[in-house]
């Protein structure tokens, strides 16, 4: 699905080994990816990679520039350190606290607040809570679409779709999928990467059909 794995350095390379918690976070991430592939074997990677910005920030890069994010640089750094060390519960608490404090002060559209929300969605995904991760990513997609940032909006759609594909219960998947497809179709109606990558939307519709079949088999007509 296009994710970059967090690789360990070979022994003797002169770098410290990752903490055990970091390995746990990576394994959790890879396990979710495996579940998503199992749930949707026909899925092909999109041109925009899911959680790309969050992963870039965690790995030490910065998409929007340090000057823009400087008011929130300290809490974001602490969140990143917790994620890299595998302390996912701590990272979630730090992200929630920082967002609650920053949003009223800087506004929902501030780049730093958006970054915090992106990290929160990514942390939920790592923590094995795809429902929350998907809904957080969809909220970001709507906001980016309103701000006329089609690339970022579609990136959040792909993040939401990655989380959605990790949802195992077919009824939950159907309910969440309807919300996802509504946002996706709205973004794809305008020019941009979503409109140019219509096969991804068709693939999501196909998964909805498979979920409906599973729901009927397990629970009767949804």
CATH number of 47's domain: 1.25.40
Residue 37 is assigned to a structural domain of this protein: yes
pLDDT band at 213 (very low <50, low <70, confident <90, very high): very high
Domain total of the chain: 1
Q: Which long-range contacts (CB under 8 A, 24 or more apart) does 54-59 make?
A: 54/118, 54/119, 54/121, 54/122, 54/159, 55/3, 55/4, 55/122, 57/115, 57/118, 57/119, 58/83, 58/84, 58/119, 58/122, 59/6
Residue 175 is assigned to a structural domain of this protein: yes
**pLDDT tens-digit series, residues 36-93:** 444 454 445 455 567 776 666 666 655 454 445 678 889 999 999 999 999 999 999 9
Q: Spell 140-176 as b/e; 16+ CB within 10 A means b.
A: bbbbbbeeeebebbbbbbbbbbbbbbbbeebebbbeb
**pLDDT tens-digit series, residues 80-114:** 999 999 999 999 999 999 999 999 999 999 999 99
Residue 9 is assigned to a structural domain of this protein: no
Residue 50 is assigned to a structural domain of this protein: yes
Residue 7 is assigned to a structural domain of this protein: no
């Amino acid at each position: 699905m296009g994710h970059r794995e967090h690789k360990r350095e070979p022994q003797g390379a002169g770098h410290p080994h990752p903490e055990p918690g970091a390995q746990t976070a990576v394994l959790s991430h890879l396990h979710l990816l495996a579940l998503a592939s199992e749930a949707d074997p026909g899925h092909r990677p999109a041109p925009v990679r899911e959680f790309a910005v969050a992963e870039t920030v965690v790995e030490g890069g910065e998409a929007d520039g340090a000057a823009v994010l400087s008011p929130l640089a300290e809490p974001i750094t602490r969140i990143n350190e917790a994620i890299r060390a595998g302390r996912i519960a701590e990272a979630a608490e730090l992200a929630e606290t920082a967002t609650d404090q920053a949003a009223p002060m800087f506004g929902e559209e501030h780049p730093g607040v958006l970054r915090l929300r992106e990290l929160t969605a990514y942390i939920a995904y790592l923590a094995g809570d795809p429902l929350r991760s998907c809904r957080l990513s969809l909220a970001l997609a709507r906001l980016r679409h309103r701000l006329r940032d089609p690339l970022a909006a579609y990136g959040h759609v792909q993040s939401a779709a990655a989380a959605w594909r990790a949802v195992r219960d077919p009824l939950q998947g159907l309910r969440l999928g309807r919300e996802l497809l509504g946002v996706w179709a709205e973004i794809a109606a305008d020019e941009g990467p979503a409109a140019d990558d219509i096969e991804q939307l068709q693939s999501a519709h196909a998964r909805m059909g498979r979920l409906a079949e599973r729901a009927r088999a397990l629970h009767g007509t949804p």
